[in-house]
Amino acid sequence: MRFDYLLTNRLKLRKITPEVMNHVFTTMQDSDIIDFLALSDFQSLEKEKNKYRSGLSSFNRSFVNFQLIDKKTDKIIGGCGFHTWQTNHNRAELGYGLFYENYKRKGLMTEALKAILSYGFNEMNLNRVEALTSEDNIASIAVLKHFDFKFEGILREHYNANGNMEDSFMYSLLKHEFNLNI
């Protein structure tokens, strides 16, 4: 299968869609899936298989994610992209994260998000991007503010974190607000 990439200064962003995931789960061996998805163990693989079996998209919901790959080492270091993509409403929720501490606080997520947001607004025709974060996730809030996401409010007891219901802070960015020059 041919994979699409976005390139930044330090990263290759490999595009992951429902079609890619279908290819992965129907043609690859378990050990290859673990490597491709950068999973930590077979328990994580089973979680991903269950998601796949349950259905990755529907008639009006889909996703476009990207694996963050370090150009120097070719190592998958994180993920970023749009889940809960409401195709009929031109909006999606943004998710992102780095897997390793030694890659954090180097501006890599800001670099990736610039390309990802541009892709979302220009290629996916998104009008609105939403982001939810914990009030304690200072780094995530700083990245959102860097791109001028607007705080919209608090979703009370919205997220189950290991059995504890936590509030989520809701942010959004509209297409006409996105500044590629940031």
pLDDT in tens, 166-182: 999 999 999 999 987 77
Q: Pairing state of beta strands 91-98 and 164-174?
A: unpaired
pLDDT of residue 100: 94
Tokens 């890599």 found at: 108
* Strand-by-strand arrangement of the 61-70 sheet: 5-7, 11-16, 61-70, 76-86, 91-98, 128-133, 164-174, 150-161
pLDDT of residue 113: 97
pLDDT of residue 48: 87
CB contact at 8 A, 113 and 97: no
pLDDT of residue 50: 87
Split the chain (182 residues) into runs of 10 and give each run's mean pLDDT.
Answer: 94 94 91 90 89 78 93 96 94 96 95 97 97 95 97 96 94 93 72
pLDDT of residue 101: 94
pTM greater than 0.95: no
> Nearest CA to 8 among 90, 100, 118, 114?
114
Chain centre distance of CA 87? 16
